[in-house]
Structure 1
Amino acid sequence: MFDTVIVVDWSGGNDRGPTPKADAIWACVARSGTPEAPVYLRNRQVAEAWIGDMLQAERTAGRRVLAGFDFPFGYPRGFARAMAGSDDPLALWDWFAARIEDAPKANNRFDVAGAINRSLGTNGPFWGNGLKRDVDGLPRTKVGYQNPFAERRRAEKLAKGAFAVWQLSGAGSVGSQALMGLPVLARLRQRFADDLTVWPFQPLDAGIALVEVWPSLIAPEIAAQTMPDEIKDAAQVRVLAQALSALPPAEMEAMLADGDAQEGWILGLGHENALRAALTPGDPVPPPLSNDCFALPPGVAWTPVDEALALLQERLTPVARVETCTVQQALGRVLAAPVTALRSNPPRPNTAVDGYGFAGGRDAGVHVLPLTDGRAAAGGDFDGTVPAGHAVRVLTGAALPAGVDTVVLQEDVTVDGGRIAFNGPVKAGANSRRAGEDVAAGDEILPQGRRLTPADLALLAAVGVGTVQVFAPLRVGVLSTGDELSEAGSDAGATQIYDANRPMLLGLLTRLGHEAVDLGRVADDRSALAAALDGALDGAGVDAILTSGGASAGDEDHVSALLRDAGAMALWRIAVKPGRPLALGMWNGTPVFGLPGNPVAAMVCTLVFAAPALGLLAGAGWQAPQGFEVPAGFEKSKKPGRREYLRARMRGGVVEVFRSEGSGRISGLSWAEGLVELPDGAAVVKPGDPVRFIPWGGLGL
């Protein structure tokens, strides 16, 4: 029915500034179940212009548009006639448009509401003066409040948690959103007078349909699919736009068959299951990266390592989809949502040893207790209660029978017929485990973004978790470039070298937990490179690409040139050694990391820059390298200006570095067990001085 869906999260407040913030205006465009990146609109003037231009562009392209706004389109019966002299709610829109004055930093909504209350001779229906000054006729609270109309529309009575349209300030002040939003919609109706209708007030026989939406209809699904660090308002418009645009036509028709032609209606109310089904549970579509996410600030030339890392961390967001898998399949996967314990561990009090159980502790001295018939064993359930002053045989892991809270080891007990004897003191609760002393039911046991280890799988199983929400593995393509390259094992020409980067990078990606995709080699030919990148997206379906070679600014540096021609490339001259400029760009919305061709520099740049960035794209969050200070077993003097990474390993309690710093010495990578990181400034290192050593494990390998 509709080619394009636009969902807008509105605000009744003032300009929120240039930096994206919560409680502002956010919008998202989606087509066929695929949303674009949410758009931040700092004030209503910017929003009105953006929405109008977007509607115009979509109609020019021949696409039919459903535009949803999250504020009420109508009021309880009688209000429109009392104000505008007509039951037509659209007449009320025009009435508001003639009276509401709006600027980025101020508006008159409270004064208009006070004037309405006074015209009705009451202190209602509006309430919630959010100004420091008093407004005649507009109460600040509902104390002594009188409303001549119904408190809620029929839709709000059915929508659990929906707020009344009369509230103008505080949490849930949709009244202000409606007062400031309806004039905008009235002007859109004028702009597209011959091609716009409003549901459910008019037949949907035009190219643009305005509808009222409420993201909270699918609040759990939105919460589950909110990306780490994503602003809630942005997630709301993204997920709801995705759901509405993915609906089968029959489901959309069923939703549009509902409504109230006087009060308005929330699209999807009563059809929440259809919206959830349209999201394909466990397989949400993440927001795409913007094409300028790698752009450096104006005037930046050489970028310090920490600044480069901060820019990557700030600008990248997860792109991996979410899916459900069993615990048995979850090793190495990244959690897309926190996991809580379904039951306690241990679920019941139990014994930690083989022995004899009884109630309470015992003082010093000899203690003799009669034995109760039977025993408690792991997996069994003792029938009955152990009487006070009696003991019972218990085996390791058994649930403690009723009447037992303390256990004495069998090695400390003498059994004589139906009695046991042991020496005290024995502390109450000895050799037993409390229910939930490890984990209590409902506790969060693993956070979102954790890459699951074998120990994590044991914890999940122990607390009854059988399936988890995880990010799909990030598919990362590896492409080598250069006429000089030859495949390992082949007959290389005299002027050729073997491609060492591709197997190294594929191995690094696998060890980092990603799905490595071999994209092969491509010659120094721009058209061939473009075709290879297209094939990586269309055929291999990769989420990111690592290239090696051609990343600088020379005649044969086709990676950087191609990305620059595409209008989405930044050549980052990072102050790092080893390493040359790092070409970062976007190819049809997919991030490309253009690494140096030298294997040593390629590996260092991958571990220092690409690895944490890919982890963030994969949903694991930003993982900083984990190193520690150790005594140096070498001498080194460095100039200021660049951070240096030396191939290193630990021997005899000190860290030693490879005999040569030459970036062509590939053998040093195999020799090393990690990197020594030397600071940006000048440094003189002597044997015994503390230096920072980052083992391969601290870099995620």
Structure 2
Amino acid sequence: MSCYDLPGLLPIDQALERMLDQLTPVEQVEDLAITAAVGRITAEPVRARVNLPVFDNSAMDGYGLRHQDAATGKPLPVQARILAGQSLNTPLQPGHCVRIMTGAPLPVGCDTVVMQEHAQDSDQGVAFDPLPEPGANVRLNGTDLKQGDVVLPAGHRIRPIDVALLISVGLVDVTVHRRVRIAVFASGDELQAAGTTLAPGQIYDSNRPGLHALLDRLGVEVLDLGVIPDEPQALRQAFSTANETSDLVISSGGVSVGEADFTRDILAEEGDIEFWKLAIKPGKPLAFGRLSKAWFVGLPGNPVSTLVTFHLIAVPAIRRLMGMTHRPLAQLAAISQDALHKSPGRMDFQRGHWAVKDGTVQVRCTGSGQGSHQLSSLTDANCYIALEQERGPVLAGEAVTLWLFDDVLA
């Protein structure tokens, strides 16, 4: 059985391709001080303003000399002492050496540095044993980066380590995409805020806070519209507000086929739905499309389905809007420690925890079950056990493919 035996179900790879082909990064950019740009996405290639290293310098505390002078085996008199931040205004005299510290500029004529552990000081000068190789312990101007070289490409998420690199090549600010604005809400009369007393039939609204936390990790601006009741006009107003204020609208619930699931119908009225059913488990009911001004992703309401489809579908959409290229989850072959229930027809993303045992990558199922309502299956997981659409049940000891959690869920 293939996905086409289940009418209207779109394979995940095709869904991602169709979605990402339509999305483009937000157009507005801004210049930020480098120290304030961590987590932001470069809008253009970032180029070095100076060479790195800026000048020829010593990689060691030791003695700088001309290699041909050291080869004589004679002690060399010390011409000068050079510390980091200082320089010698005269060339190195033939037959001499300089005492030099790490990072100090080499004087003209100096081509080699001998570490101080290999130098023997005496009244006649400094002798060296063993003799250094030509050019030893020297950092030459521009050997790391040259002025004009691309330091970071466009679409790069700036990390703390990048701050040091950017400043070292003479930059003080960087051009980045503005933050993506995302409106998020949950729909359902049964949803109640944490800490309230639940009446019969009510549950706590966990999806929306969970999504908010994940969105915070992505570094976007979040407009939290709260819980919207299962009432068409209230949902229309929520979508209208989100459409005017955000780049992407993410809803949780209401995209299935229940009598009170109005979200998909309202999306069809107010915009264009590109697809709304995926050949995956959990998370078959998922709507993607466009309102007049904003894109939307309508996630299913079951907690695991919400978080898994956010990770697999919404995150790639958000990253594209941010200006990043799509980065598929890393995959790994493993041996299943458990028998896995699976029916052909949909790709199944069961939650698992992988580890290396006896030199073999092995994975076990997590949680008390793999139902779309069982959040415990995610809390101990570090991967998805990605079972192919056409695959049936898996026996313990069979090979499976893992999709490893990235920094969004890890």
Normalized against structure 1, the TM-score is what?
0.55
Query: Is the Cα contact below 8 Å between 1:553 and 1:561 reproduced in 2?
Result: no
Find out whether 1:355 has 2:59 as its counterpart. Answer: no
Residue 454 (structure 1) aligned to one of 137, 160, 180: 160
Partner AA of 2:53 in structure 1: P
Query: Is the Cα contact below 8 Å between 2:92 and 2:107 reproduced in 1?
Result: yes
Residue deviations 1:246-301 (CA, integer Å, cap 9, x gap): xxxxxxxxxxxxxxxxxxxxxxxxxxxxxxxxxxxxxxxxxxxxxxxxxxxxx972
Residue 382 (structure 2) aligned to one of 673, 676, 688: 673
Partner AA of 1:558 in structure 2: F
**Greater RCO structure (CA 8 Å; 6+ sep):** 2
Find out whether 1:430 has 2:136 as its counterpart. Answer: yes
Structure 2 runs not aligned, ≥5 long? 1-5
Find out whether 1:575 has 2:282 as its counterpart. Answer: no
* Cα RMSD, aligned residues only: 2.1
Residue deviations 1:292-337 (CA, integer Å, cap 9, x gap): xxxxxxx972111111111112111112521111101110000110
1:684 Cα shift?
A: 5.4
- Which structure has the bigger radius of gyration? 1
Query: Is the Cα contact below 8 Å between 2:32 and 2:173 reproduced in 1?
Result: yes
1:418 Cα shift?
A: 6.0
Partner AA of 1:371 in structure 2: V
Write the distance in 1 (CA, Å) between the matches of 2:97 and 2:161. Answer: 36
Residue 313 (structure 1) aligned to one of 20, 23, 28: 20
Is the partner of 2:234 in helix, strand or coil?
A: helix
Paired position in structure 2 for 1:509? 215
Kindly tell me: are residues 436 and 684 of structure 1, through their superposed partners in 2, closer, same or farther at Cα, counting changes over 3 Å? Answer: farther
Paired position in structure 1 for 2:334? 630
| More strand, by proportion | 2
Normalized against structure 2, the TM-score is what?
0.92
Is the partner of 2:77 in helix, strand or coil?
A: strand
Kindly tell me: are residues 699 and 623 of structure 1, through their superposed partners in 2, closer, same or farther at Cα, counting changes over 3 Å? Answer: farther
Paired position in structure 2 for 1:604? 308
Partner AA of 2:242 in structure 1: A
Paired position in structure 2 for 1:370? 77
1:533 Cα shift?
A: 2.1
Write the distance in 2 (CA, Å) between the matches of 1:595 and 1:331. Answer: 29
Partner AA of 2:383 in structure 1: G
Superposed counterparts of 1:394-433, under 5 Å: 394-417=100-123, 419-433=125-139
Superposed counterparts of 1:155-554, under 5 Å: 301-360=8-67, 366-372=73-79, 374-417=80-123, 419-538=125-244, 541-554=245-258
Query: Is the Cα contact below 8 Å between 2:26 and 2:178 reproduced in 1?
Result: no
Kindly tell me: are residues 643 and 365 of structure 1, through their superposed partners in 2, closer, same or farther at Cα, counting changes over 3 Å? Answer: farther
Write the distance in 1 (CA, Å) between the matches of 2:392 and 2:51. Answer: 53
| More helix, by proportion | 1
Query: Is the Cα contact below 8 Å between 1:564 and 1:570 reproduced in 2?
Result: no
Structure 1 runs of 4+ aligned residues shifted over 6 Å read 362-365
1:560 Cα shift?
A: 0.5
Kindly tell me: are residues 593 and 410 of structure 1, through their superposed partners in 2, closer, same or farther at Cα, counting changes over 3 Å? Answer: same
Residue deviations 1:483-519 (CA, integer Å, cap 9, x gap): 0100111112111000010011011111122223221
Partner AA of 2:113 in structure 1: V
Find out whether 1:589 has 2:293 as its counterpart. Answer: yes
Is the partner of 1:424 in helix, strand or coil?
A: coil
Residue 560 (structure 1) aligned to one of 250, 264, 267: 264
Write the distance in 2 (CA, Å) between the matches of 1:691 and 1:432. Answer: 50
Kindly tell me: are residues 362 and 356 of structure 1, through their superposed partners in 2, closer, same or farther at Cα, counting changes over 3 Å? Answer: same
Equivalenced residues, count: 400
Write the distance in 1 (CA, Å) between the matches of 2:406 and 2:296. Answer: 25
Paired position in structure 1 for 2:3? none
Structure 1 runs not aligned, ≥5 long? 1-298
Query: Is the Cα contact below 8 Å between 1:364 and 1:423 reproduced in 2?
Result: no
